[in-house]
Amino acid sequence: MTAPAEAATWFKLVSVPLYNNPADPNAYGDEIGVATSWQLPGVFAGLPPDALERVQSAIDSAAWGYDIRSGDWAGKAIAAALDLKLSDEVQETRCKALLDAWIASNALELRRGPSLTTRGRDRDVVAVGIRVEGAAAQDELDF
C-alpha cells in the first residue's frame, strides 16, 4: 500500500564534493551522496511548444472517440501528432493523461455523437474546444 505517484514525496541522490584533498584544498577530493528532493516530471514535460496546436489540427481532421477501446480513439490522433508510440504502455498512458488534461482545460471537449462502429448509438466524441494558435496562446489555458 503506497501513495499514488502524484502525491508521493520523491528524492534522488546527488554527489557532493567534500573538498578534503590535503594536497590541494581546491580539488573536489571525496564525494558523498546526499538525498535531495525531486519532482516527478509532469505529463507535458518534453512536449514541443506547438504540441496542442498540432493535436487540435489532428482531432479536427476526423471524428475521434473518447473511449480507449474504440478503434478511432482520440489518443491515436495525439500519438500521431506528437510522434508517440502507442505500442509502449507508458506512452499510451501518457496519451490518455494528455487527452484528459486537455479536456479539463477546455482545449478539447467531449460531445455526444453517433458512432459508425456501434450501429449509430451515441457515444462520447472528442472535438476541438478553445482554439489555440501558436505557443504563446497555449500558455493562456488553465492546465
Q: What is the pLDDT of residue 74?
A: 93
Q: Which residues contact 67 (CB under 8 A, 6 or more apart)?
A: 73, 123, 124
Phi-psi region of 88 (alpha: psi -120 to 50; beta: other; left: phi over 0): beta
Q: Cα–Cα distance between 10 and 39 in angstroms, integer?
A: 6
**pLDDT computed for residue 12 by the predictor:** 92
Specify the CATH number of the domain 51-138: 1.10.10
| Contact present, 59 and 127 (Cβ < 8 Å) | yes
> What is the pLDDT at residue 109?
92
pTM for this predicted structure: 0.69
What confidence score (pLDDT) does residue 56 get? 93
Domain ranges, ordered by start, for the chain: 1-40, 51-138
pLDDT of residue 118: 65
Predicted confidence at residue 24, as pLDDT, reads: 83
| Residue 41 pLDDT | 81
How many angstroms separate the CA atoms of 47 and 83, rounded?
10
Q: What's the average pLDDT block by block, 10 residues per block, for the chain (143 residues)? A: 72 90 82 90 88 92 87 92 92 94 92 73 86 58 52
